[in-house]
Amino acid sequence: MKRSWRVSGDVLLRMLADAAIVNLSFAIALVSHYIWVVGITGTASDAPAAFRQYLNLFAQNSWLLTLTALIVFHLFGYYGYGRPYQGRYKAIVILQAVAVVYLVIGFLAYLMSYQVSIPRAVLLLSWAVTVALQLTSRLSSAIWKALASAERRYFGVHSLTDRSVRNVLVIGGAGYIGSALLPKLLEGGYYVRLLDLFLYGTEPIKPYEGHPRLEIVKADFRQVDKVVESMRGMDAVVHLGAIVGDPACTLDEELTIEVNLIATRTIAEVAKGYGISRFIFASTCSVYGASDELLDERSALNPISLYARSKIASERVLLNMASPRFAPIILRFGTIYGLSGRIRFDLVVNLLTAKAVVDNKITIFNGDQWRPFLHVDDAASGILKVLEAPTALVNGQIFNVGSDEQNYTLKQVGELIRQLVPTAEVIEMKTSEDRRNYRVSFAKMRRVLGFRPRWTLEAGVRQIIEAFNSGAIQDYREARYSNYKLLSEEWVPYHLQPQNGWAYALISETERGRLLEQHERE
Ligand SMILES: NC(=O)c1ccc[n+]([C@@H]2O[C@H](COP(=O)([O-])OP(=O)(O)OC[C@H]3O[C@@H](n4cnc5c(N)ncnc54)[C@H](O)[C@@H]3O)[C@@H](O)[C@H]2O)c1
């Protein structure tokens, strides 16, 4: 409720401009009428007295005109993002709205003729000037925006002054979701800066290297200087970078908190400081943990892993930073499946399909557990949808990303795969290791943004089977396909060692020096 009454700076400016336009029009109409009656027709003989009369007329009525105009313009949708005030209908809406303003003023003039005695010719002229000024101002701003966008498109210029989203910093953009998002952004005409440490290699984004609107920054996003540099000239940030998945996060809990939570806060602080208006954060439906209810964005959270807890904590930090100028948006994705530049075989649908095709076995643990599923391509489309939505609809919002139809039990997933790989055998087992069980409602994103995933689980499974049949994927057990396996390898901790390691080294060195000195003195 509170949020709907918040007037953004942009809306306030538009209201001020409209107030100025109606007052200017009224003044022009009064001056013209004054010149007509004093200078041309000579109906008013005492020019200074007539001038004072017109001045009084302006002083008495301008507030009423301003108030009426702003209320009527608001009712006609001038200050929202509704359909009535879009595109070619704009001119008609302006004509109607301004006519209503002057009809109301004319009516009031008739009712309170002792106080609001505005000549009809003044009202008519003021109406015409207001329409002309409003059309000119709206038209010139539309032309200006079109020119600025064409300039960026053809010259790759990324301006700091135009706040509409064209320049996007994608953090962790070389991963599973990032490599599906990148081509969509480039096709959409965006200028993309991609910041990633390439833990899983550069292969996922290879096809786009050298693209004129793609800039690649290889760096650890815990390095503040790199984050600051990467933020320059950007309009929006999509933060996908993290240690992803329950098993990978348990490898080094301190590191997980540093990468998933502390860095997220730092990145957001830098973005806010830079005046970047939109910050899209990849969270997960894992935050719902274990529950038998159908869960929506307001449901209680029940995290059962460090991974989920690190995401909830990040969500809180980001939502607390929301302001009219900084819009954090939380996307809680379902479990992803399907092909992108980097496929992962540590995710249930991809893994079970791979096992069915390669090993002729579909081993299911805790088959009654529910999960919502989402194709990686739809996850990328969801991000794009939020990037392009009016700020008022998304600022400070949490959206579950997926579709109600793709809530499945793991047993149902196994059955679906078996139908497509009939030679495979389904083996059911119980384990106490993964207790996650959640069925999620995706109504909010459908209702607010009209988002509906295009893929079905069946089409996604067929896509993976095809990738094996064509030889595009060979050994699904390779470490690069699994976050846990790869992060367990020895060379990775070298890249991901705690960023503040130098400080600890220096402190212990200082301590060693002090002890040595003390020892020598004794
Ligand atoms: N894949 C899913 O099923 C799923 C589901 C829900 C939410 N998510 C969320 O979506 C986001 C992306 O997931 P994904 O599956 O693409 O993950 P991913 O593991 O494939 O990609 C993560 C990317 O982040 C990069 N990265 C990690 N630490 C970094 C660091 N310190 N500095 C720079 N780069 C670093 C990695 O190199 C990698 O390219 C994550 O935040 C994840 O929590 C994923």
The domain that holds 231 is classified in CATH as: 3.40.50.720
For residues 165 and 271, state if they share a domain: yes
For residues 440 and 396, state if they share a domain: yes
| CA of 461 relative to ligand 1 center, distance in Å | 22
For residues 10 and 142, state if they share a domain: yes
Residue range 44-53: average pLDDT? 85
Please report the atom of ligand 1 found closest to the CA of residue 344. Answer: 20
Task: Determine, yes or no, domain membership for 516.
Answer: no
Q: How confident is the model at residue 5 (pLDDT cuts 50, 70, 90)?
A: very low
Q: Are 467 and 342 in contact (CB under 8 A)?
A: no
Q: CB burial class (10 A; 0-12, 13-18, 19+) of residue 53?
A: middle
Distances (CA, A) of 479 to 421, 475, 488: 25, 10, 9
Q: Are 1 and 56 in contact (CB under 8 A)?
A: no
Amino acid found at 92: I
Task: Determine, yes or no, domain membership for 451.
Answer: yes
Q: Is the CB of 213 under 6 A from ligand 1?
A: no
How many domains does the chain divide into? 2
For residue 4, the model assigns a pLDDT of: 39
- The better pLDDT of the pair 440, 291 is held by 440
For residue 53, the model assigns a pLDDT of: 87
Task: Determine, yes or no, domain membership for 54.
Answer: yes
Picking from 155, 188, 222, the residue at the C-terminal end of a domain is 155
For residue 491, the model assigns a pLDDT of: 65
Please report the atom of ligand 1 found closest to the CA of residue 347. Answer: 3
For residues 26 and 117, state if they share a domain: yes
The pLDDT tens digits for 287-302 are 999 888 899 999 999 9
* Residue 390 per-residue DSSP state: -
Cα 163 from Cα 144, distance rounded (Å) = 13
For residues 265 and 170, state if they share a domain: yes
For residue 431, the model assigns a pLDDT of: 78
Can you tell me whether residue 429 is helix, strand or coil? Answer: strand
Residue range 301-327: average pLDDT? 95
For residues 150 and 170, state if they share a domain: no
For residues 68 and 182, state if they share a domain: no
Task: Determine, yes or no, domain membership for 508.
Answer: no
Picking from 134, 155, 176, the residue at the C-terminal end of a domain is 155
For residues 164 and 129, state if they share a domain: no
Ligand 1, atom 11: closest residue by C-alpha: 240
Ligand 1, atom 2: closest residue by C-alpha: 336
- CB-based burial, 198-230: b 16+ in 10 Å, e otherwise: bbbeeebbeebeeeebbbbbebbbbbeebbeeb
- The better pLDDT of the pair 162, 247 is held by 247
Cα 522 from Cα 513, distance rounded (Å) = 14
Q: Scan for tokens 């709206």, then name that residue.
A: 138
Q: Which of 171, 227, 244, when mutated, tests ligand 1's pocket best, judged by the most ligand atoms within 8 Å of its CB?
A: 244
Q: Are 159 and 173 in contact (CB under 8 A)?
A: no
Q: Is the CB of 175 under 6 A from ligand 1?
A: yes
Task: Determine, yes or no, domain membership for 268.
Answer: yes
The pLDDT tens digits for 66-119 are 999 999 988 888 876 444 454 556 788 888 999 999 999 888 877 776 555 788
For residues 119 and 229, state if they share a domain: no
Q: Is the CB of 341 under 6 A from ligand 1?
A: no
pLDDT above 90 covers a percentage of the chain that reads 66
| CA of 251 relative to ligand 1 center, distance in Å | 16
Ligand 1, atom 10: closest residue by C-alpha: 282
Instruction: Look at the alpha carbons of 73, 78, 80, 81 in this order and tell me if their dihedral is positive or negative.
Output: positive
Ligand 1, atom 31: closest residue by C-alpha: 220
Task: Compute how many other C-beta atoms are within 10 angstroms of the C-beta atom of residue 321.
Answer: 17
Q: CB burial class (10 A; 0-12, 13-18, 19+) of residue 376?
A: buried
Task: Determine, yes or no, domain membership for 521.
Answer: no
For residue 331, the model assigns a pLDDT of: 98
Picking from 112, 127, 155, the residue at the C-terminal end of a domain is 155
Task: Determine, yes or no, domain membership for 520.
Answer: no
For residues 210 and 120, state if they share a domain: no
- Asked if the model's pLDDT at residue 195 lies above 70, the reply is yes
Contacts of 102 (CB under 8 A, 6+ apart): 123, 124, 126, 127, 130
Q: How confident is the model at residue 501 (pLDDT cuts 50, 70, 90)?
A: low
Q: What is the mean pLDDT of the chain?
A: 88
Cα 479 from Cα 487, distance rounded (Å) = 9
- The better pLDDT of the pair 85, 147 is held by 147
Q: Is the CB of 417 under 6 A from ligand 1?
A: no
For residue 114, the model assigns a pLDDT of: 56
For residue 499, the model assigns a pLDDT of: 63
- Asked if the model's pLDDT at residue 492 lies above 90, the reply is no
Edge-to-edge order in the sheet of strand 278-284: 214-218, 191-196, 167-171, 236-239, 278-284, 327-333, 398-401
Give the lowest-confidence range in 88-102, 104-118, 228-242, 447-461: 104-118
The pLDDT tens digits for 149-164 are 555 444 443 433 334 6
Cα 197 from Cα 421, distance rounded (Å) = 37
Structural domain harbouring 384: 160-502
Task: Determine, yes or no, domain membership for 509.
Answer: no
For residues 127 and 168, state if they share a domain: no
- Asked if the model's pLDDT at residue 471 lies above 90, the reply is yes
For residue 352, the model assigns a pLDDT of: 98
Ligand 1, atom 38: closest residue by C-alpha: 175
For residue 466, the model assigns a pLDDT of: 97
For residues 164 and 208, state if they share a domain: yes
- Asked if the model's pLDDT at residue 9 lies above 80, the reply is no
